[in-house]
Amino acid sequence: MLRMPRFSVQTPATIEEAVTALQSPGARVVAGGTDLLPNLKHRLEQPPVLVSLSRVEGMRAVAIDEATKMLRIGARVTLTGVSEDPLVREHFGSLAQAAGLVASPLIRNMATLGGNINLDTRCRYVNQTAFWREAIGGGCIKSEGNVCHVVPGGRNCVAAMSSDCVPVLIGLGAHVVLVGPNGRRELPIEDYYVADGTRHTTRDDGELSTEILVPLPTGPRRCHYSKWTVRGSIDFPLISVALRFELERDRIDAPITAAHVVAGVLGARPRRVTRLDDILGKALSDQGVASAVAERVHKQCKPLENVPYEAPYRRQMLRVHTRRAIEALVAAG
Amino acid sequence: MSSPSPASLLSVRINGEPVQVAVQPHHTLLEVLRYQLDLIGSKQGCDKGDCGACTVQIDGEPQLACLTLAIHAEGRDVTTVEGLATGHGGVHPLQDAFDRWDAAQCGFCTPGILMSAEALVRKTPRPVTDPEVRAALAGNLCRCTGYTKIIDAVIDASRLMHTDDETADGAGQAPTRPAAAAQ
């Protein structure tokens, strides 16, 4: 039995009231609670007050903004909602796919997209009971200690960004909307994350993420999300790769005009794979394209011993999953 | 906006009945169900969202009571395994099928599995298929059965529920347990 520490809960009715409530020192937002509550039960956080979004109006719509040519997804849309939404499925199949692969159906019925982009980083030395962490000598720099068990001597936390949706959203060029006491700001989701596992987003404590904006496709493309897990359900990814290929025509043998490859579960920030220029102009179905991309991913992505399974094994599997994902896209036509 | 308080009065419908109960802000719905309302059908397993033993339905959607703040149930409709048979004459067809197929061994996961399965059969306008059951139960761990008997029981219950829709004489009749399951 895991009990939560004591806290009070505020239940504002509007975004403005929620932002006001968030200005209270140490306040934390709770929506679905599927990430926060286990962390509270493990005493990884002890906020004096939770600001619940349960009564807040809005933030639950999915709609196309014709003016900006963006799909606007409210931060409180559940992951089940994202995975089943007709607009998301029509325009962003890989996002629907990623949202539908998070944890289990029960978690997806509760968890929100806003929660998933703000998912705390995870590490095998952190997401344990307080008793467990005490037994390894009093935690680490992300919990109650001051050492890193993953990188001996390390001063920077390398806990892994384990969200399924985030690599996909980065690959799709999404933006996140934040509302704070000084108003609204919007930034590319790629710039939302920083390589520090103890504080991996650039969101201020007093800000609330209210919306995710995804630019609508301007031409034919093929997208895929690949996640490797210990079991077929419930688990966080061991590795993850989001792929997006823009094509000259809507055919699998058409030349690739742009390629976006993003890998997750490395450190606190998802990694955009670079130097993909040599596949531009080639067809996705060309001999060697799948393995060329897979080699780039393998070369640039170096998993750490921060989640289950050995890092060298996970690195090999990054190559395998990338290649298989592209082969699946080719097979699907 | 409500101000922080040590306890607040929660108004919720539980298994169809309006209930008012004073809850602590740091208590989960599962703690309130089990330790304040004596509804101990929903089980406390891992208590952190991995096992699904605490599954209840909130407004008809299966969710985890161990990760739901009690106050988040305000004004909602909560159904626990105790309320499953309401309107089914004391035994839900799923419960009956679980009995016939020996789909419960130690029984700890059963309440949660029944709540996930009920949502599936209720939302599917025809008998459910094996892949649908597997997908719907993907958040409920069972360490005894190996799942096969559970999946068979859900499919059988769903089939019978649709037989009942079409022919009145199927109602209440004990179906024959297939020989394959009798090993």
What pLDDT digit, counting tens, does each position of B38-97 carry?
Answer: 999 999 999 999 999 999 999 999 999 999 999 999 999 999 999 999 989 889 999 999
pLDDT number for residue A158: 98
Instruction: State what percent of residues in chain A have pLDDT above 70.
Output: 100
Residue B3 included in any domain: no
How many Cα atoms occupy the beta-carbon half-sphere of A185 within 13 Å?
14
Q: Say if the Cβ atoms of B52 and A104 lie within 8 Å.
A: yes
Is B63 in the same domain as B111? no
Nearest-CB residue to A233 (from B4, B27, B138) = B138
* Pairing state between β A70-74 and A28-30: unpaired
pLDDT category at B6 given cuts 50, 70, 90 is confident
CATH topology of domain A62-119+160-215: 3.30.465
User: What part of B 59-98 touches A (C-beta under 8 Å)?
Assistant: 61-64, 66-69, 71-72, 74
Chain A residue with minimum CA distance to B55: A106
Q: How far apart are CA A283 and CA A87, in angstroms?
A: 28
pLDDT number for residue B164: 62
pLDDT number for residue A193: 98
Q: How many CB pairs under 8 A join A and B?
A: 102
Residue B101 included in any domain: yes
pLDDT number for residue B171: 42
Residue B23 included in any domain: yes
Is B113 in the same domain as B46? no
State pLDDT tens for residues A32-56. Answer: 999 999 999 999 999 999 999 999 9
pLDDT number for residue B165: 60
Question: Chain A residues contacting B, CB < 8 Å?
Answer: 1-13, 17, 21, 30, 32-34, 37-38, 41-42, 49-50, 52, 54, 103-107, 109-110, 232-234
Residue A201 near residue A238 (C-beta atoms within 8 A): no
State pLDDT tens for residues A62-118. Answer: 999 999 999 999 999 999 999 999 999 999 999 999 999 999 999 999 999 999 999
Closest to A269 measured CA to CA, from A186, A171, A162: A162
pLDDT category at A58 given cuts 50, 70, 90 is very high
Structure tokens at A235: 């688990």
Residue B37 included in any domain: yes
State pLDDT tens for residues B110-135. Answer: 999 999 999 999 999 999 999 999 99
The pTM score is 0.94
The more confident residue out of B163 and A107 is A107
pLDDT category at B166 given cuts 50, 70, 90 is low
Is B75 in the same domain as B39? yes
pLDDT for B179 beyond 60: no
pLDDT for A333 beyond 70: yes
Q: In which domain, by residue range, is B125 found?
A: 93-169
State which of B83, B104, B127 marks the end of a domain.
B83
State which of B83, B113, B130 marks the end of a domain.
B83
Chain B residue with minimum CA distance to A7: B26
State pLDDT tens for residues A208-251. Answer: 999 999 999 999 999 999 999 999 999 999 999 999 999 999 99
- Output the domain CATH number for residue B161: 1.10.150.120
Q: Say if the Cβ atoms of A105 and B135 lie within 8 Å.
A: yes
Q: How far apart are CA B176 and CA A93, in angstroms?
A: 43
Average pLDDT over residues B18-24: 98
pLDDT category at B181 given cuts 50, 70, 90 is very low
State which of B30, B55, B83 marks the end of a domain.
B83
Residue B88 included in any domain: no
Q: Say if the Cβ atoms of B1 and A33 lie within 8 Å.
A: no
Is B21 in the same domain as B52? yes
Q: Say if the Cβ atoms of A105 and B3 lie within 8 Å.
A: no
Average pLDDT over residues A266-277: 97
Count Cβ atoms below 10 Å from residue B172 Cβ, excluding itself: 9
User: What part of B 109-168 touches A (C-beta under 8 Å)?
Assistant: 116, 135-136, 138-141
Is B72 in the same domain as B127? no
State pLDDT tens for residues A243-265. Answer: 999 999 999 999 999 999 999 99
Q: Say if the Cβ atoms of B116 and A33 lie within 8 Å.
A: no
Q: Say if the Cβ atoms of B139 and A33 lie within 8 Å.
A: no
Is B102 in the same domain as B73? no
Q: What is the CATH number of domain A221-332?
A: 3.30.390.50
Instruction: State what percent of residues in chain B have pLDDT above 90.
Output: 82
Chain B residue with minimum CA distance to A34: B67
Where does chain A have alpha helices with state H?
15-22, 36-41, 79-84, 86-91, 93-99, 105-110, 113-117, 130-135, 165-171, 289-300, 311-332
Instruction: Identify each DSSP E strand in B44-164 by its residue range.
Output: 55-58, 61-64, 77-79
Is B61 in the same domain as B108? no
Domain extent listing, chain A: 62-119+160-215, 221-332
* Domain tally, chain B: 2
The nearest CA of chain B is from the CA of A246 a distance in Å of 32
pLDDT number for residue A1: 87
What residues of chain A lie within 8 A of the CB of B63, using their CB? 106, 109-110
Is B14 in the same domain as B75? yes
What residues of chain A lie within 8 A of the CB of B59, using their CB? none
- Output the domain CATH number for residue B52: 3.10.20.30
pLDDT number for residue A307: 97
